[in-house]
Amino acid sequence: MIKNTLLPAAEFCQRRSDFITKMPANTIALISAGKEVTRSNDTEYPFCQSKNFYYLTGFNEPDAILALVKGEGVEAEQSVLFSREKDSFQEVWHGRRVGQLAAVENYQFDLCFSLAEVSEQLLPLIEGKSSVLICQQEHGVFEQQVLSWLAEIRKLARTGAKAPKSLVDCSEIIHEMRLHKSDAELDIMRQVNVISGAAHQRAMQRTSAGKFEYQIEAELLYEFASNGARYPAYGSIVAGGDNANILHYTDNDEALINGDLLLIDAGGELAGYAADITRTFPVNGQFSVEQKAIYQLVLDSQNLAISAIKPKQTFAELNRLVCNFLTQALYDLGILKGDITLLLAQNACKKYFIHGLGHWLGLDVHDVGDYHSNQQREQLRPFAPGMVMTIEPGIYIPLSDKSVDEKWRGIGVRIEDNIAVTESGFENLTVNAAKTIADIEKVMAN
Ligand code: GLY
Ligand code: MN
Ligand code: MN
């Protein structure tokens, strides 16, 4: 088992081999690790590995480079890592490094060299290939670096050296692989959901009027880290009252008010994999009549979408189901007014359901993978077993919305679960965060 990951090295090795199978013959793929990012002066943000690099290596150090080589024949396939060399001075100050010997042994690379050996060892691997595959949008700086290596090879043209003629973006190949989760990945995603669900329950139990949003955020972070998910997968949203109507609210610096709702959108990261869960609950533990009405219709719409998930289903169809349901329900409450046939035809609920129904989830919270969207922005890609997505309907009625009765204003509700597509339907990975009105009120009463 590699440190910092719950996946065996063999799984990463298999991914590299699957990736090489998809590469054109006589090419080399160069995938760059992440860089440390300065927070201020000489302090850095916690390091977050480039997810494409991590997917193919499980290697968690900055600055490394993975070279995947595909020659003309199968026998010429190689996976080679370039990484920081062991350095006792640097390691005393900044932490241990894996080094080259342990990288080969523990991560199953064919070869590993230090970064100082790039000219000597990497350029010969690039030379003579027809193209270089890179993840183009990821690291502009790395692309410049690759171009400079090609320039170095071109300088040797008189000796017969041939530089590859093109840089080809291979992000899509990795993204497609990342979209389809293995059993081992699903298992980690189950675990990070359980940890994150427990964090939401802890937040419910510790919420009371007068506390600050960041104090509830601290409860989430405590529960994540104490259970192995040391960092949150994204900035936690802890939004009391009208703050819930700011979709990516992360200021988290206001006091909670008796009678308001609290929306929490937060998930931990475990072995690189994200959970993305939202719960909305009353600060005082008891939903008001209006809060109950909005909450229940959001929950019903979420259940409608989740229960329709199965292979070959699409986000476009789930959106249609949810939009029809929410439009009718908001009309029945008197929040949407007018001709119901027209309102349904116009997807009138979008006035209050102002974001998408869900997204892919995995190593990134908004994970990679094509949605096959058409010009109308409908997401037509058929689901397949092993895909994981969020389902997160919401209704947002800001205090400033004078078009509705005052009693509805300031209510913002989102409910978000993480769902895996299975052979026969779906598996809801979000199993332990209270969600029905009765369950939430019960958790908060204890
Ligand atoms: N946490 C961001 C989202 O739900 O998409
Ligand atoms: Mn989400
Ligand atoms: Mn979310």
| Marked catalytic residue, from 359, 364, 367, 417 | 359
pLDDT digits (tens, 9 = 90+) for 22-39: 999 999 999 999 999 999
pLDDT at 175: 98
Which ligand ends up closest to the CA of 360? 2
Decide: 276 in ligand 1 pocket, CB within 6 A: yes
Average pLDDT rounded to a whole number, residues 266-289: 98
Average pLDDT rounded to a whole number, residues 79-101: 97
DSSP codes joined into one string, 380-394 = -PPP-TT-EEEE--E
Whether 157 has a pLDDT exceeding 60, the answer reads yes
- Give 117's pLDDT tier (boundaries 50, 70, 90): very high
Beta strands at 268-270 and 231-232: parallel, antiparallel or unpaired: antiparallel
| Marked catalytic residue, from 54, 55, 331, 396 | 396
Domains assigned to the chain: 9-178 (3.40.350.10), 180-445 (3.90.230.10)
Q: Which two tokens stand for residue 404?
A: 């509705």
- Give 421's pLDDT tier (boundaries 50, 70, 90): very high
Residue nearest to atom 5 of ligand 1 (CA): 366
Average pLDDT rounded to a whole number, residues 408-433: 98
Answer for the pair 437, 290: CB distance below 8 angstroms, yes or no.
no
**Alpha carbons 55 and 185: distance in angstroms, whole number:** 11
Decide: 416 in ligand 1 pocket, CB within 6 A: yes
283 closest CA partner among 250, 318, 242 = 242
Neighbours of ion ligand 3 (CB under 5 A): 265, 276, 416
pLDDT digits (tens, 9 = 90+) for 58-72: 999 999 999 999 988
pLDDT at 5: 66
180 closest CA partner among 319, 311, 268 = 311
366 Cα nearest atom in ligand 1? 5
Q: Which residue has the tokens 């060299």?
A: 113
Higher pLDDT, 398 or 71: 398
Which ligand ends up closest to the CA of 418? 2
**Alpha carbons 414 and 94: distance in angstroms, whole number:** 42
Q: How far is the CA of 391 from the centre of ligand 3 (A)?
A: 9
Residue 276 bears catalytic tag = yes
Q: Which residue has the tokens 């359901």?
A: 353
pLDDT at 1: 41
Provide the mean pLDDT of the chain.
96
| Marked catalytic residue, from 39, 96, 154, 248 | 248
Decide: 417 in ligand 1 pocket, CB within 6 A: no
Decide: 185 in ligand 1 pocket, CB within 6 A: no
Decide: 217 in ligand 1 pocket, CB within 6 A: no
N-to-C CA span, the chain? 40
Residue nearest to atom 4 of ligand 1 (CA): 276
Answer for the pair 189, 275: CB distance below 8 angstroms, yes or no.
yes
Average pLDDT rounded to a whole number, residues 74-102: 93
pLDDT at 216: 98
**Residue 119 in 3-state DSSP?**
helix
Decide: 234 in ligand 1 pocket, CB within 6 A: yes
Average pLDDT rounded to a whole number, residues 110-137: 95
Decide: 367 in ligand 1 pocket, CB within 6 A: no
What's CA 165's distance to the chain center, in Å? 34
Residue 97 bears catalytic tag = no
Average pLDDT rounded to a whole number, residues 399-426: 98
| The model's pTM | 0.96
Residue nearest to atom 3 of ligand 1 (CA): 276
Residue 392 bears catalytic tag = yes
Answer for the pair 276, 390: CB distance below 8 angstroms, yes or no.
yes
E strands present in 59-212: 65-70, 78-83, 111-114, 131-134, 166-169
- 172: which residues sit within 8 A by CB, 6+ positions away? 370
248 Cα nearest atom in ligand 1? 2
**Alpha carbons 350 and 347: distance in angstroms, whole number:** 6
**Alpha carbons 413 and 277: distance in angstroms, whole number:** 13
**Alpha carbons 370 and 429: distance in angstroms, whole number:** 22
- Give 6's pLDDT tier (boundaries 50, 70, 90): confident
- Give 391's pLDDT tier (boundaries 50, 70, 90): very high
Decide: 265 in ligand 1 pocket, CB within 6 A: yes
pLDDT at 73: 65
Decide: 364 in ligand 1 pocket, CB within 6 A: no
Mutation to probe ligand 1, out of 192, 200, 234 (largest number of atoms < 8 A from CB): 234
Which ligand ends up closest to the CA of 235? 1
3-state secondary structure 285-331: CCCCHHHHHHHHHHHHHHHHHHHCCCCCCCHHHHHHHHHHHHHHHHH
